[in-house]
Structure 1
């Protein structure tokens, strides 16, 4: 069925229009005759009200629904709340096995929580999907309403239909003696004093103020959309990082996902004295200050795990990192998070002893966390054959490592060079053997000798303590990059501007026409009808018509 949307004034309205775009006459027959008109969007046609919608229209209608938007927000809030039941995985340092950790720490419910992926709620596809749907809803809701509203407000007609005027929130019908156009001019002057913009057309008048407040909700939407885009942008690695790195003293470690390296030159901790502590804490160690003397390096060459070359590092900044005093460089921030007091071996420079010629060669550098694949000691080449960070023996007496931490490191080298067999000789070396493993190095090398893997000719010796580098402290740094945060603040500021516009200013319009000495006035505001009734009554009183503001309330009169 084709709907006739042509008004009696001759204006052709789009399908779905409720009030004529020109004169304001109601075009829908089922509107209640005794109640004020619904003035949202000035009765303009919206795409979401289109008859016989196709697939695209149905998708548009879905996202343009305010009810759907509210449900999406509720679901997102519920999901965000569920994500706070247990700590998220991202809050832990060096979490190698999340499933085992959650089960051991939080029991069966923790294991279920981790299995369902709730331990990574805010990075999950469904949570990000909800945010995308909320953003889509904001865009569609805004476009569905702001375009018709802009069209209606930018093409307002001064002379409106009598039905339109008599069915506004604020209505007055009375007789006007004398010159109608002069009275219109006087009334318009009174409204201008109240900061209304006034247009006249013969014996008809339109006065309006604070139209800009109608755009407040849509400016708010723009801010929220920018805010959501910034939040989603934090899922892009280059835009956001929130990681933790542990660095021993005198160690340089790469910051994951970047070409930057950070070195812990020295760690300092200062404890409260007993007299500085309250009675209940006396006798306990409480850190007053802990500080990492850090140096940040940028990799300039061989940055991609080149096994043949060490990365070339260039110092870019130094800073003493303390709590709330991070190292900052080009958006990268390193915060002091925690520390651990534990002696660790960082590097040794052993000598290679040759019993046959009673000679020693070297020293050569041996770093615990990043040992070189090949080292040179005099004429001999030492090829790293195996590494046991935390040496131990399994039930069958075979070498194994208890953990990935260098608590009791052992290195197996294949030595090649002059006067040696072509395949070389195997030797194991313990830089810092535990009390239980002091004789194990010799036992294993003797077993290699029995197997024909070496001749027992070589041994290792550090000699002076200056060839040993220890770490007393391990510092834990929180590495943050948040390039989206400025956009979050800008979005929040725009959203706040929209809220202020919508809450503190009210769009007010007054229409009137005089026909053969009879005045018909209608006024509308989206908020605070008492205010517009008072302004209208005040202006009328200055023009000789005294009326009680309450008598202008058409909603009161229609009840």
Structure 2
């Protein structure tokens, strides 16, 4: 690594544009920022040497330069945002409510676009290797961008002195030259700058007035916050930090909670669905144009159980109650680090029980029976020695090329084939479909009819354990601190450079030049010091 010694004696790194100590332009490097082509010095990063702009010899140098580019970082973020947006077009695999394999589900449900969505891997987007790689590349870009700029900027600001080279002072954007300025006027200027919270540094009569240097680190604090957020996003890949599953639980049903390694079960005690009252004066204006009722509450009253002892294959586990409560939108039930959130519902979508009534053709009643879709009972005793047996049961009936079949195991359109036997008949067969019973025998002596049906609601619940949220919160807080740090404070400097009878004054800020000009103007008011001119406007 080459070193460049300035005439002031300071040793600068190779690639330095302005001497870190006196600010004199280093001739060999002015082509980098074009300081030889313009009157006002380019003060970006204080003219310090950046690795990405200096070393481009090896593969590592070129890789560093690539990731240090802001354009590369922006394009990586845009690519991630586009991918995330596409991932929301259709439900992710874990949230699809279907027993079909994903290879069939997306095509049958959404057509050609669904097929393309699946084949491109967007059905498991947020856990896919390429999306995680994209997030990691954004993190790498942020780290390299920060280091490439922070280290030389910190070194330059740390080494700056009150006594600057005359060329540096004269080529600042704000500059003025006065003559015969008295010592009292100079002291008055310094005192007024002190009252404006400037820190005064003096070196052989040369003055540096500086304030709000900490604001220069705002963007890098932003980067730290973003890096923490990205790390939190990557940590969500690991089960010990984040697990999330989706489950449909029907009223009265007890099921194992996903992602809990079969250690926890949940029972849907009752589902409550409430709508806004159209007669309530508070809602009449808002609801007058609504054709259908507007829901006000989705609520699942649930009980969570934990397996007691070891799980023995083939045996029902012994359960003990952990907690119970009401799960509403944004009001989860929590236990042992897990949270259960209300996410979806299928209102009265499945048959729980179907009640039948039996009688002879002459109107002689034989009693009734109730078929429970969740139980295995298939034989029912009637009066006078008659019996009903369920021979075939199709929870979601459909006709295929192979004959009667069931689309799924959930009783949304049940088809049932009964066989009735009795003391004076051998067997008579009946078929239940769409809440009606069809006799399959031409000369039947028994009539079956539907007396009542009970429909149940299925609750869609998200089961989540997330220890990454504190990291997201910490990252967001740090990011907002960096935003405030760089937005509400500005790094301002005023240099006073006496030269014989001449009195040179220059000013620089990273933003809000109008504010700096006002402060200088207020500080020299009533003195013979000339007001600074904006040399940028004359170019």
**2:265 partner SS:** strand
Query: CA 1:104–1:212 in 2, change beyond 3 Å: closer, same or farther?
Result: same
> Is 231-240 or 528-537 further displaced after alignment?
231-240
Structure 1 position 329 matched with structure 2 position 335? yes
Q: Which residue of 522, 530, 533 corresponds with 1:547?
A: 530
Matches of 1:286 and 1:78, distance apart in 2: 33
Unpaired runs of 5+ residues, structure 1, are 347-365, 372-386, 409-432, 444-469
**How far 1:262 sits from its partner (Å)?**
0.9
Structure 1 position 206 matched with structure 2 position 208? yes
Q: Which residue of 303, 307, 313 corresponds with 2:313?
A: 307
Provide the residue aligned with 1:478 in structure 2. 462
Provide the residue aligned with 2:500 in structure 1. 516
| Contact 2:23–2:165, Cα closer than 8 Å, also in 1 | yes
Q: Which residue of 48, 55, 58 corresponds with 2:59?
A: 55
Provide the residue aligned with 1:296 in structure 2. 304
Matches of 1:274 and 1:512, distance apart in 2: 75
Matches of 2:103 and 2:52, distance apart in 1: 47
Matches of 2:137 and 2:499, distance apart in 1: 52
**How far 1:101 sits from its partner (Å)?**
2.6
| Contact 1:245–1:478, Cα closer than 8 Å, also in 2 | yes
| Contact 1:88–1:119, Cα closer than 8 Å, also in 2 | yes
| Contact 2:181–2:503, Cα closer than 8 Å, also in 1 | no
**How far 1:116 sits from its partner (Å)?**
1.7
**How far 1:473 sits from its partner (Å)?**
3.9
Matches of 2:507 and 2:288, distance apart in 1: 73
| Contact 1:184–1:204, Cα closer than 8 Å, also in 2 | no
**How far 1:33 sits from its partner (Å)?**
5.5
> Is 135-144 or 46-55 further displaced after alignment?
46-55
| Contact 2:56–2:65, Cα closer than 8 Å, also in 1 | no
Count of matched residue positions in the alignment of Structure 1 and Structure 2: 463
Matches of 2:396 and 2:272, distance apart in 1: 30
Query: CA 1:152–1:290 in 2, change beyond 3 Å: closer, same or farther?
Result: closer
Deviations 1:295-352 (A, max 9, x none): 112234324xx31544343311110233443312244222333144233379xxxxxx
Matches of 1:279 and 1:529, distance apart in 2: 55
Provide the residue aligned with 1:464 in structure 2. none
Unpaired runs of 5+ residues, structure 2, are 355-371, 378-391, 428-453
Provide the residue aligned with 1:380 in structure 2. none
Return the structure number with greater strand share. Answer: 2
Query: CA 1:439–1:64 in 2, change beyond 3 Å: closer, same or farther?
Result: farther
Provide the residue aligned with 1:20 in structure 2. 19
Matches of 1:135 and 1:47, distance apart in 2: 19
Matches of 2:410 and 2:182, distance apart in 1: 103
**How far 1:20 sits from its partner (Å)?**
1.0
1:15-414 alignment runs, 5 A limit: 15-29=14-28, 30=30, 31-32=35-36, 34-179=38-183, 183-258=185-260, 259-269=263-273, 291-303=299-311, 306-336=312-342, 337-341=344-348, 342-344=350-352, 402-403=406-407, 405=409, 407=411
Deviations 1:492-550 (A, max 9, x none): 222122112112211001112212222122211111122222222322234x225345x
Deviations 1:5-53 (A, max 9, x none): 1111122211111111221111134432642111122111122123353
Query: CA 1:47–1:481 in 2, change beyond 3 Å: closer, same or farther?
Result: same
1:424-439 alignment runs, 5 A limit: 435-438=416-419
Matches of 1:393 and 1:285, distance apart in 2: 32
Matches of 2:178 and 2:51, distance apart in 1: 40
> Is 99-108 or 520-529 further displaced after alignment?
99-108
**How far 1:274 sits from its partner (Å)?**
9.3
Provide the residue aligned with 1:412 in structure 2. none
| Contact 1:191–1:207, Cα closer than 8 Å, also in 2 | yes
| Contact 1:323–1:335, Cα closer than 8 Å, also in 2 | yes
| Contact 1:249–1:473, Cα closer than 8 Å, also in 2 | yes
Deviations 1:348-386 (A, max 9, x none): xxxxxxxxxxxxxxxxxx996999xxxxxxxxxxxxxxx
Query: CA 1:397–1:238 in 2, change beyond 3 Å: closer, same or farther?
Result: same
Matches of 2:75 and 2:41, distance apart in 1: 29
Matches of 1:555 and 1:392, distance apart in 2: 80
Provide the residue aligned with 2:480 in structure 1. 496
Matches of 1:507 and 1:273, distance apart in 2: 59
Provide the residue aligned with 2:537 in structure 1. 556
**How far 1:124 sits from its partner (Å)?**
2.8
| Contact 1:266–1:294, Cα closer than 8 Å, also in 2 | yes
1:430-469 alignment runs, 5 A limit: 435-438=416-419
Query: CA 1:344–1:230 in 2, change beyond 3 Å: closer, same or farther?
Result: same
**How far 1:112 sits from its partner (Å)?**
1.9
TM-score using structure 2 length: 0.75
Deviations 1:359-414 (A, max 9, x none): xxxxxxx996999xxxxxxxxxxxxxxx998699999999x973551659xxxxxx
